[in-house]
Amino acid sequence: MAARSIGSLTISFGLVAIPVKLYSATEASQHISFNMLHSTCGSRLRQQYFCVKEDVPVGRDEIVKGYEFAKDQYVMFSPEELKALEEVGTHAADITEFVPIAAIDPVYFDKAYYIAPDKGGAKPYALFAKALRESKRCALGRWAARGKEYIVMIRPVEDGLVMQQLLYAAEVRSIKEIDIPVMDVKEAELKLARMLIEQQSSNKFDPSEYKDDVSARVQAAIQKKVEGQEITVSEAPEGGAQIIDLMEALRASLEKKGGAAAKTASKPQAPARKPAKRAQPAAPAARKSAKK
């Protein structure tokens, strides 16, 4: 089944404008969702809001949005006021700069879209993609849609271009907020770790090698339920803290992966033995004194 475009926009940098179509890069339909049911009769439940002060149900036509600026103190906004604050969609992604692809930490990555040339955009699209690919850079810009303004990164891939929404700096926590102790690493441990990394290294990421086992189990359980079968729930294994010798764990990992060299790699090498000294002939003066 051919992918369906979810929208169109124009990528502009300098005086160049590229009309493109937008396609979702991810498939939300693969996610398994459950409904909330009444356990006694199996009917679906309807969500209802209650006023915490008056303890009465509140209809949707009586609900407004509010912002809590202090404990239990709110300022209210009408739908019209919130609408006026939204960013007006421009259907354009305006490029502001070009940076090396490696300069953007993936922690900033958000939703991704595939972009393809729209009518009249095939030539500038191909030119833009090739220029990005050869420069090893990506384009950064702004895109207004759905009442919000997003930072977007347009990066080249093998078959075209991907537009990646990026998070703002305020949306990403700094790793410095986490207490990570500084530890000394022994050279022997580092050597084994590098060997293990080398053993399990690949030149290319193949996502098809990774399967969603949990989703498969859930789908199988759903099918059994539909067919009227009972599901056997196995007991979870008891967990417990394990004290692991780092060197032994690294060595065992290498041996498990076929690294026979691990047995010798982690052993401290004995210092080379010095050759035995040859007996030196006595000096003439020493021989004379020996005769006396």
- pLDDT (tens place) for every residue of the chain, 292 residues total: 678 898 899 998 888 899 999 999 987 656 788 899 999 998 999 888 999 889 899 988 888 899 999 998 999 998 888 888 876 667 889 999 999 999 999 999 999 999 999 999 999 999 999 999 999 999 999 998 878 899 999 999 988 999 999 999 999 999 999 999 999 989 998 998 999 888 888 888 888 888 888 888 888 888 888 888 877 766 666 655 555 677 788 788 878 766 445 455 545 555 555 555 555 555 554 454 444 4
Predicted model pTM: 0.69
Structural domain 7-27+86-171, CATH architecture:
Beta Barrel (2.40)
Distance CA 162, CA 26 (A): 12
DSSP-derived 3-state class of residue 31 = coil
Distance CA 261, CA 251 (A): 9
E-state strands within the chain: 7-13, 16-24, 49-50, 57-58, 65-70, 73-77, 92-100, 109-117, 137-145, 148-157, 160-166
CA-based torsion, 101, 107, 110, 113: positive or negative:
positive
Work out the angle at residue 182's Cα, subtended by the Cα atoms of residues 180 and 188, and round it to the nearest 5 degrees. 125
